[in-house]
Structure 1
Amino acid sequence: MTAFMRRYVRIVDGVNYHIGRVMMYGIFVMMGILLWSSISKTFFLPSLWTLEMAQFAMVAYYIMGGPYSIQLGSNVRMDLFYGRWSVTERAWVDSFTVLFLIFFLGVLLYGGIDSLLYSLQYNERSPTAWRPVLWPIKSIMCAGLLLMLLQAISELFKDIAHIRDIEI
């Protein structure tokens, strides 16, 4: 089990690290889209696609950066008691609470896949004037949720290893 855990953690952490580092530059994509929106509204005919494209870029930025955020421990915690606990006590609590996160992400992924399949089957489009197809952003959302789920399992393995005093 330990060899499997080590390999799993190494692969998942590596993939999410690299995706997270690339997604950090997504803020510049959003800035470019919103800058073009401002320029086109001021000097040219306003673009129909800019607001919705900025929303899609923001969704991709947040959801694909989520696993990297979990990996770095940048997620929000209630620090009322957590900061005073030892590292082992934190690992015990984290190994319990991450089960709720895994369940939540599993439910979200299930719903996301169902929504993606619907979108693919019926060629679902946004109800805006631009009317883009929605399956690309739903695919990105499902991929991000899957990566977040895999990262949560990786964190569980790290906590279990820490409790057992095993080096991963």
Structure 2
Amino acid sequence: MRALLLFSGFVDRLSAQVGKWVYRLVLVTVLISAFNAVIRKVFRYSSNGLLEIQWYLFAAVFLLGAGYTLMRNEHVRVDVLAGRLSARAQAWIDIFGTVFFLLPMVVLICWLSWPQFVESFVRAEVSSNTGGLIVWPARLLIPVGFFLLGLQALSELIKRIAYLRGMGPDPRDQAGRAPDAAAEGLAGQAPAAAGDVK
């Protein structure tokens, strides 16, 4: 289990680094959008390339940030019933949802999107819009984003199993903390928590 927790800590740190870059992409997207709006209004000039780069960057923020959002436990949840259950019951619900819904979806989308990226790359596909951009980088975002989401899903699964086995704290309590601190908390509390198991 310790090796799995080390893997989980590595994935959390990777997701945190990707999250930092996604924050920067949000700023870049806003600046490009503002620049595009200004030149369109002031100079009566419009560029399909500028519009498409906005779409690409928005897709990158959404897809590449999904794993980071999962790590922070900030995805939308419907906790009308689950929120009233114990922390252990919530951990079991998360495990069930991850194993039977999230991971199969990630595998399916990666499997379906990879050939589309490869075909687009080999054909050097370009947007059908005049002055449009090459398409394959946008298609590549889909399998990469879902692969990172799948890695983080495995990390969350490991943390919940460790919690249920008494080898770490409740991962939901760790979600808002820095990944290094959360990983240290999971690894460092393992002996003490294991003694508390009844």
- Asked if structure 2 preserves the Cα contact closer than 8 Å seen for 1:23 and 1:65, the reply is yes
1:91 aligned residue: 91
Aligned mates of 1:140, 1:108 — CA distance in 2: 12
Identity value in percent: 25
Please state how far the C-alpha of 1:140 moved relative to its aligned partner. 2.6
In structure 1, the gaps of 5 or more residues are: none
**Counterpart residue type for residue 135 of structure 1:** W
TM-score between both structures, scaled by the size of structure 2: 0.80
Please state how far the C-alpha of 1:17 moved relative to its aligned partner. 0.8
1:63 aligned residue: 63
Please state how far the C-alpha of 1:22 moved relative to its aligned partner. 2.1
Deviant stretches of 4+, over 3 Å: none
Aligned mates of 2:53, 2:122 — CA distance in 1: 23
In structure 2, the gaps of 5 or more residues are: 169-185, 187-198
Aligned mates of 2:25, 2:38 — CA distance in 1: 20
Aligned mates of 1:48, 1:149 — CA distance in 2: 33
SS at match of 1:25: helix
Q: 1:49-98: CA deviations, max 9, x gaps? A: 12111100100011111111000000111111111111111011110111
TM-score between both structures, scaled by the size of structure 1: 0.94
- Asked if structure 2 preserves the Cα contact closer than 8 Å seen for 1:112 and 1:142, the reply is yes
Q: 1:104-143: CA deviations, max 9, x gaps? A: 0111111121111111121122221123211112223322
SS at match of 1:89: helix
- Asked if structure 2 preserves the Cα contact closer than 8 Å seen for 1:40 and 1:47, the reply is no
2:53 aligned residue: 53
Q: Which has the larger radius of gyration?
A: 2
Farther-moved stretch of structure 1 (122-131 vs 10-19): 122-131
1:33 aligned residue: 32
Aligned mates of 1:57, 1:162 — CA distance in 2: 37
